[in-house]
């Protein structure tokens, strides 16, 4: 690709003929030639004074504010919907089950296209610049949804907000995977999942606090506008983190790649050797054209795309976001009042955060594929239990016009928590880790963008149809359908998804090529 469009400042670009050129990047092009160790060791960046160190954990925290916003903006709707369903005279938007699904899914449609577009943008302009733009979109979407006067404006604002959510879901894992050493890559990428569920817990807590302390018809607007605060924090924080070394290497900017590695690796680390590995892959990729339709005929790329899309979709067909978005609505069906349902939903957020912390430790010790299958098995058990509870306890009471027994609410909440334990401790961390590591450098941004696009499309379809399906068929049938779909997802995982634990990003690419 043209290096001129990629440079943020003067750097060192490899020319492919045994020379380096230090200075302006204007007009330079990435070559198919790759430098040797001796070439890199003579770069000023390799032998100069140690650059100002940057704690990798701090950089990861700053970048995963995008995950926090992802979690807050997807979780806050659970508390806002009951208020938005009220009539305009009571400060709401008069939502029906169908328009509730529309408001919820509109963000997810925007997220699908945000994920798809951000892949190309981050490949061309860098992960860091992409995150800066996403922070601004987060702010605009949050303010627009909080101030929306009617349904049409709300849907439009949620689509804009979705562009940022989808962009963050595709860009943050790639940044973390490219920043982290390979031995701790899994736990670093899993931090993003922790921040997502922390954002959801924050949303549930804010919802409950506002619901119990404010007596205002516009309580839901306060819930939505709070998302603007972390958006500003993300924009400020990204200014102090570097671009990833692998993105620099993809543009043959090996001097800047070395500088980033020396800032983010411990003393004594062979940064030159790591850049050499990146340079060899970048040179091989730059010798070939970009991914196009003819490439899809290659068996290894076809398998790669099937696996990537499959991993992304599996996370959604579990039904996790029906619980994250509609938990208060489901608990209201069991007989809880709105305020009590919002307060009980905090338990979902707490368990999600604790499970995500557990997932950080598990992903370091268990192989990816085993962790994925274990999570899917626990989710299947939880879905069957929810279906039985609705069918045997809740629906019979509703059919005769009675309030379900109080124990039914606690059973439903308990099985939701069991579901979230397996989802957030196993399935979700593995999803984002594998998506960040299976695609080769030449198509990493595009590949994860396509996979996450499909993930959000499935999420939108499920989120739109769920309240309508529950209203028409009841909770028992709805959760039974999800259980049957997850049986198919388990079969897919068992037969199609490979193991990627313990491999560098370059070695993962090699394994896919060899397996095909």
Read off the pLDDT of residues 380-397 as tens digits, 9 standing for 90 and up: 999 999 999 999 999 898
Whether 42 is covered by a domain: the verdict is no
Is 43 part of any domain? no
CB atoms inside a 10 Å sphere around CB 220: 27
Query: With left for phi above 0 and alpha for psi between -120 and 50, is residue 209 left, alpha or beta?
Result: alpha
Number of folded domains that form the chain: 1
By DSSP bridging, strand 20-23 and strand 11-14 are: antiparallel
The pLDDT value given to residue 185: 65
Per the domain annotation, does 88 fall within a domain? Answer: yes
Q: Is 297 exposed, middle or buried (0-12, 13-18, 19+ CB in 10 A)?
A: exposed
Whether residue 6 lies inside any domain: the answer is: no
Q: Which token pair is 247? A: 């993105």
Quick: pLDDT tens for 454-497.
888 888 888 888 888 888 888 899 999 999 999 999 999 888 88
Q: What percent of the chain has pLDDT over 70?
A: 75
CA distance 247 to 253: 9
> Could you give the CA distance from residue 406 to residue 419 in angstroms, rounded to a whole number?
21
CA gyration radius for the chain? 24
What digits encode the pLDDT tens for the residues 153-209?
A: 999 999 999 999 888 887 888 888 777 776 666 667 767 778 888 888 899 899 889
Band of pLDDT at residue 501, cut at 50, 70 and 90: low
Average pLDDT value over all residues in the chain = 78
Inter-CA distances, 378 with 152, 381, 383, 411, 486, Å: 40, 5, 9, 16, 11
Nearest to 173 by CA among 357, 431, 423: 431
* 13 contact partners, CB below 8 Å, separation of at least 6: 3, 20, 21, 25, 28, 30, 251, 252, 253, 254, 255
In angstroms, the CA 14 to CA 173 distance is 28
Q: How far apart are CA 283 and CA 347, in angstroms?
A: 50
**Least confident piece of the model among 139-143, 172-176, 273-277:** 273-277
pLDDT of residue 294: 57
Q: What is the CATH number of the domain that holds 131?
A: 1.20.1250.20
Least-confidence region, from 81-90, 204-213, 242-251, 349-358: 242-251
Does the pLDDT at position 509 exceed 80?
A: no
Answer yes or no: is 381 within a domain. Answer: yes
Question: Rounded to whole angstroms, how far apart are CA atoms 487 and 317?
Answer: 10
- The domain of 139 spans 56-243+291-515
| Element of type H or E holding 490 | helix 475-496
pLDDT-derived band at 307, boundaries 50, 70, 90:
confident
505 assigned to some structural domain: yes
What average pLDDT does the segment 43-63 reach? 63
Confidence at residue 21, expressed as pLDDT on a 0 to 100 scale: 38
What's residue 291's pLDDT?
A: 53
Answer yes or no: is 135 within a domain.
yes
SS3 426: helix
Name the residue with tokens 């989808």: 166
pTM more than 0.85? no
**Distance (Å, rounded) from C-alpha 66 to C-alpha 391?**
39
Residue 34, domain member (yes or no): no
pLDDT digits (tens, 9 = 90+) for 144-155: 999 999 999 999
Give the single-character DSSP code of 392.
I
């Amino acid at each position: 690709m043209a290096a001129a469009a990629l440079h943020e400042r003067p750097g060192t670009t490899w020319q492919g003929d045994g020379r380096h050129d230090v200075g302006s990047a204007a007009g330079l092009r990435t070559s198919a030639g790759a430098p040797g160790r001796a070439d890199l060791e003579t770069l000023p960046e390799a032998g100069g004074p140690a650059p100002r160190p940057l704690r990798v954990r701090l950089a990861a925290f700053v970048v995963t504010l995008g995950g926090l916003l992802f979690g807050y903006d997807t979780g806050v709707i659970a508390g806002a919907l009951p208020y938005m369903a009220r009539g305009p005279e009571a400060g709401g938007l008069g939502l029906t089950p169908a328009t509730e699904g529309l408001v919820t899914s509109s963000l997810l449609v925007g997220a699908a296209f945000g994920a798809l577009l951000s892949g190309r943008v981050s490949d061309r302009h860098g992960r860091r610049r992409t995150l800066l733009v996403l922070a601004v979109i987060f702010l605009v979407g949050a303010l627009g949804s909080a101030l929306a006067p009617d349904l049409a404006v709300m849907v439009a604002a949620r689509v804009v907000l979705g562009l940022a959510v989808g962009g963050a879901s595709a860009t943050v894992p790639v940044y973390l995977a490219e920043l982290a050493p390979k031995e701790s890559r899994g736990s670093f990428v899993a931090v993003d999942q922790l921040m997502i569920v922390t954002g959801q817990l924050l949303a549930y807590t804010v919802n409950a606090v506002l619901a119990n302390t404010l007596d205002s018809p516009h309580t839901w607007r306060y819930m939505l506008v709070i998302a603007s605060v972390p958006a500003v924090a993300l924009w400020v924080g990204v200014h102090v983190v570097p671009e990833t070394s692998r993105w620099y290497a993809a543009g043959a900017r090996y001097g800047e790649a070395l500088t980033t590695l020396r800032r983010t690796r411990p003393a004594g680390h062979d940064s030159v050797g790591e850049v050499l590995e990146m340079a060899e892959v970048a040179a091989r990729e730059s010798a070939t054209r970009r991914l196009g339709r003819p490439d899809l005929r290659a068996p290894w790329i076809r398998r790669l795309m099937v696996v990537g899309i499959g991993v992304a979709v599996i996370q959604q067909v579990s039904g996790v976001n029906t619980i994250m978005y509609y938990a208060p609505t489901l608990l209201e069906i069991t007989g809880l009042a709105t305020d009590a349902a919002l307060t009980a939903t905090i338990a979902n957020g707490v368990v999600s955060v604790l499970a995500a912390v557990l997932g950080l430790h598990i992903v370091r010790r268990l192989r990816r594929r085993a962790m994925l299958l274990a999570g899917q098995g626990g989710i299947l058990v939880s879905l069957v239990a929810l279906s039985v509870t609705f069918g045997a306890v809740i629906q019979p009471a509703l059919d005769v016009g009675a309030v379900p027994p109080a124990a039914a609410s606690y059973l439903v909440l308990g099985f939701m928590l069991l579901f979230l334990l397996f989802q957030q401790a196993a399935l979700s961390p593995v999803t984002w880790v594998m998506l960040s590591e299976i695609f080769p450098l030449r198509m990493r941004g595009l590949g994860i963008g396509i996979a996450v696009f499909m993930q959000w499309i499935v999420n939108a379809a499920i989120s739109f149809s769920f309240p309508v399906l529950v209203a028409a068929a009841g909770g028992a049938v709805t959760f039974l359908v999800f259980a049957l779909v997850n049986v198919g997802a388990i079969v897919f995982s068992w037969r199609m998804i490979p193991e990627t634990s313990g491999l560098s990003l370059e070695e993962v690419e090699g394994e896919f090529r060899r397996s095909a």
